[in-house]
Structure 1
Amino acid sequence: MEFDLSWMLLGLPLAFVLGWLASRWDLRQIRAENRQAPKAYFKGLNFLLNEQQDKAIDAFIEAVQNDPDTSELHFALGNLFRRRGEYNRAVRVHEHLLSRGDLSRSDRDRAQHALAQDFLKAGLLDRAEDALRRLEGTGFEAEARLALLAIYERSRDWPQASGIARRMQTSGQGDFSARLAHYLCEDADAVLAQGQQAEALERLEQAVATAPQAARPRLALAQLQHRMGQSDQALQSLQALAEQAPAALPLAAGLLVDLSAATGQREAIHQLLNSHYQQLRSLDLLQALVTLDAREQDANAPGRTRLIQHLEHEPSLVAAAQWLTEEKLAHEEHHPAIQRALDHAAKPLTRYRCAACGFEARQHFWHCPGCQSWDSYPARRVEEL
């Protein structure tokens, strides 16, 4: 059978035409997909800039569907879900990224960090802790340690918090000696609640050695020493407090009044209070001086005259209400009602206020219950700020 060359001559052009058509079709499809993905992406970006998060999420989902290998779109989508409080969806997005085998090391670390943030925002602290620990040795290590520190403080796990703080201090992330002293004080409170005074005393002494400039360890140590009958040592602790952290002495004013009777060193304590009051006209120091003067039999003791002298320098409603307590009025029958009104008006002024978030409380806090900041409460009342 002879081979017919005419079929070959006809087939070659036909194959060429079909191949050319197929290539053109693929190019059109690729171009259409490339146009569609950026269009959806920029559409989502536009919605995001206009604070239309619902429409932005829809646009980003469309972009991800068109190009599922685009990691940046996944990150944007996960962050949007987290901001909206849809933590389950954010977790799924970031876990999907971590499951990809083609993800670079930097993007994998970034996805792990984003996943930890999802768990933190969702309040899943145990899963957040595990995710954060996986960031050791990465570029997110410093942020992860800070987040772990916040978790341990929130759960009051002071030994774990101490370990993280020491590692951060060793790596040069800052000076955490004051924070470590707070942890020791918190631990001392815990063991003291169980009646273990010796163990509490040991932790407080360690806290003083860890942060000599910190006020809380010395004040807590003096309180415990007085409680254990070691009043002379308690006074020495407060004298050291006055030297190392004089701004915190108003917090010890009441204890100093008690120590004046327990130690018999009334004159030394009176001088200590008075010298610091002259530098810092504190209501607590003033009250302590008035109390000490009232205990004296000396008619020349300033006593309540100090309140008037204080009012000459500071327009204090708290001091005025206290002075009026024992004064006789022209219409004495109205005195109780006036006194109640003044005390009611002055009561909010005797609170402490957090300098970081403004949270007010009747007692002084070393760790703000509102914003979780340490040492954010000045040792002064609201009226004095």
Structure 2
Amino acid sequence: MEFDLGWILLGLPLAFVLGWLASRFDLRQLRAENRRAPKAYFKGLNFLLNEQQDQAIDAFIEAVQNDPDTCELHFALGNLFRRRGEYDRAVRVHEHLLSRGDLEHSDRERAQHALALDFLKAGLLDRAEDALHRLEGTALEAQARLALLAIYERSRDWPRAAGIARKMHGADQGDFSTRQAHYLCEQALALTDLPAAQALLEQAIHAAPEAARARIELARLQRLMGQPDALLATLKTLAAHNPAALPLAAPLMVEAASATGRVAEVQELLQAHYAQAPSLDVLESIVLLETADEATRATARQRYVQHLDKERSLVATAKWLATEKLEHEEFHPQIERALEHAVKPLLRYRCAACGFEARRHFWQCPGCQTWDSYPARRVEEL
């Protein structure tokens, strides 16, 4: 059977035309897909800028479906889910990223960190801890350690928190000496063995000599152990190293002065501090010491009036009026109750980080969990 070359001559142009049409079709489809993907991406970005998170999520999902290999869209989508509180969906997005074999090393670390944050926000602390430990030795190690520190503080696991703080301090990731002192204080407060607690507090003082808490906690412990002389010595050291914290320790100094008989010495120290930085707590302690002495009892109340020359204080005014005789003495109880009600909010402490107010001083804010954010002065004095 003879082969007809005419078929070849006829087929070549036909094959060329069909190949050209196929390439044009693929090119059009690729262009259409590329147009759809950026359009969905920018649409999502616009919704996000307008704080329309539901619409932004829908747009990003559409963009991810058009281009499943785009890592940045997955990260954006996962972060949006986390911000909305849809932690299970955020976990699925980041786990999908980690399951990809073609993911670059840096993107894998980002996905691991994002997954840990998902677990942390969802309250799954054990899974978050495991995910964060996998970032040890990576570029995100410092961020992972900070998150681990938050986990251990939240669960009040002070020994492990201290271990992370030591690592970060040793790696020059910040000064964590004061934080380590707080952790040692927390461990000491949990002990019933007083000598062991004292040893931990002395370690805390050594870790952060300028921090106030360890010395104040040690003074309270020495009061429990019946050591007034040691208590007074500790508080005198506090006044030398951190005079701003003395208002917190002033009531303890009054107790130590009475127990040791060294009233004049304590009184002189408190008056010297008050002259430098007038404080309601220090003023109250001075008045208590002077009231206990008959020679100075009559003039002790005038301290409140003298304080008004330094600072306008409703608290000092109320304390002075409480001991004064008024012209219409029958109205004195009502006036005293009204003033007590008015000054109560002024006697609180306020967190400098979040504004959370409390009747007692905290070393770690119950609201924002920030350490050392409460000044040693009352709201009226700020």
Aligned position for 1:2: 2
**CA distance in 1: counterparts of 2:36 and 2:292, whole angstroms:** 87
Match of residue 314 from structure 1: 311
Q: CA deviation at 1:256?
A: 0.9
**Secondary structure, aligned partner of 1:286:** helix
- Tell me which moved more, 272-281 or 122-131: 122-131
Please report how far the alpha carbon of residue 300 of structure 1 lies from its aligned counterpart in structure 2 after TM superposition. 7.1
Tell me, yes or no, if structure 1 residue 203 matches structure 2 residue 204.
Answer: no
Distance 2:328 2:12 in 1: 123
**Measured at CA, do residues 113 and 375 of structure 1 come closer, stay the same or move farther in structure 2, by a change above 3 Å?**
same
Match of 1:342 in 2: 339
The correspondence of residues 59-138 of structure 1 with structure 2, limited to 5 A, is: 59-138=59-138
Shift of 1:301: 6.1
2:278 aligns with 281
* CA–CA distance in structure 1, aligned partners of residues 306 and 49 of structure 2: 60
Mapped partners of 1:47, 1:305: distance in 2: 65
State the alpha-carbon separation in 2 of the partners of residues 347 and 3 from structure 1. 110
Moved over 4 A (4+): none
| Matching residue of 1:28 | 28
Q: Deviations over 1:77-125 (max 9, x none)?
A: 1111112221111111111000000000011111111111211222221
Alpha-carbon deviation of 1:55?
Answer: 1.8
| Letter paired with 1:262 | A
Determine whether 1:323 maps to 2:320. yes
| Cα separation, 2, equivalents of 1:169 and 1:377 | 24
Q: Percent identity?
A: 71
Kindly tell me: are residues 97 and 329 of structure 1, through their superposed partners in 2, closer, same or farther at Cα, counting changes over 3 Å? same
Residues 340 and 68 of structure 1, relative CA distance in 2, 3 Å threshold: same
Partner of 2:379: 382
Q: Which moved more, 1:291-300 or 1:220-229?
A: 291-300
SS of 2:366 mapped into structure 1 = coil
Q: Give deviations 1:310-335, integer Å, cap 9, x for gaps.
A: 12222211111111122111111111
> Do 2:142 and 2:173's aligned partners in 1 also have CA atoms closer than 8 Å?
yes
Q: 1:87 to 1:3 in 2, by over 3 A?
A: same
Unaligned runs of at least 5 residues, structure 1: none
Cα distance in 1 for partners of 2:7, 2:331 equals 125
| Kept after mapping to 1: 8 A contact 2:290/2:297 | no
Whole-angstrom distance in 2 between the partners of 1:351 and 1:44:
46
SS at match of 1:35: helix
Deviation at 1:17, TM superposition (A): 2.3
CA contact (8 A) 2:158 2:187 kept: yes
CA distance in 1, matches of 2:39, 2:308: 71
1:296 has 2:293 as partner: yes
What pairs with 1:218-229 in structure 2 (closer than 5 Å)?
218-229=215-226
Alignment-derived partner of residue 359 in structure 1 = 356
Contact conserved, 2:291 with 2:297, CA < 8 A, in 1?
Answer: no
Q: Does 1:236 align with 2:215?
A: no
RMSD: 1.3
Q: Secondary structure at the match of 2:326?
A: coil
Question: Could you list the per-position Cα deviations for residues 8-52 of structure 1 after superposition, in whole angstroms to 9, with x for gaps in the alignment?
Answer: 322222222222222222222222222222222222222222222
Q: Distance in 2 between matches of 1:336 and 1:7?
A: 120
State the one-letter code of the partner of 1:119: F
Inter-partner Cα distance in structure 1 for 2:76 and 2:184: 42
Residue of structure 2 equivalent to 1:48? 48
Residue deviations 1:128-156 (CA, integer Å, cap 9, x gap): 11111111111211111111111111111
Residue 162 of structure 1, CA deviation:
0.3
What letter matches 1:201 in structure 2? Q
Partner of 2:265: 268
Deviation at 1:7, TM superposition (A): 2.4
Secondary structure of 1:298's counterpart equals: helix
* Contact 2:149/2:165 (<8 A) preserved: yes
TM-score normalised to structure 1 length: 0.96
Unaligned runs of 5+ in 2: none
Q: Work out whether 1:212 is the aligned partner of 2:209.
A: yes
Distance between the aligned counterparts of 1:43 and 1:239, measured in 2?
65
Q: Which residue of 1 aligns with 2:177?
A: 177
Which deviations, in whole Å up to 9, do the C-alpha atoms of 1:175-210 show, x marking residues without a partner? 11111111000100001xxx2111111111111111
TM-score between the two structures when normalised by the length of structure 2: 0.97
Q: Quote the residue 1:333 is aligned against.
A: 330
Question: What's the CA shift for 1:66?
Answer: 1.3
Deviation at 1:306, TM superposition (A): 1.1
The answer for the alignment partner of 2:368 in structure 1 is 371
Encode CA deviations 1:51-92: one digit per residue, 9 max, x unaligned.
222222112111111111111111111111112221111111
Count of equivalent residues: 382
Report the residue type matching 2:377 in the other structure.
R
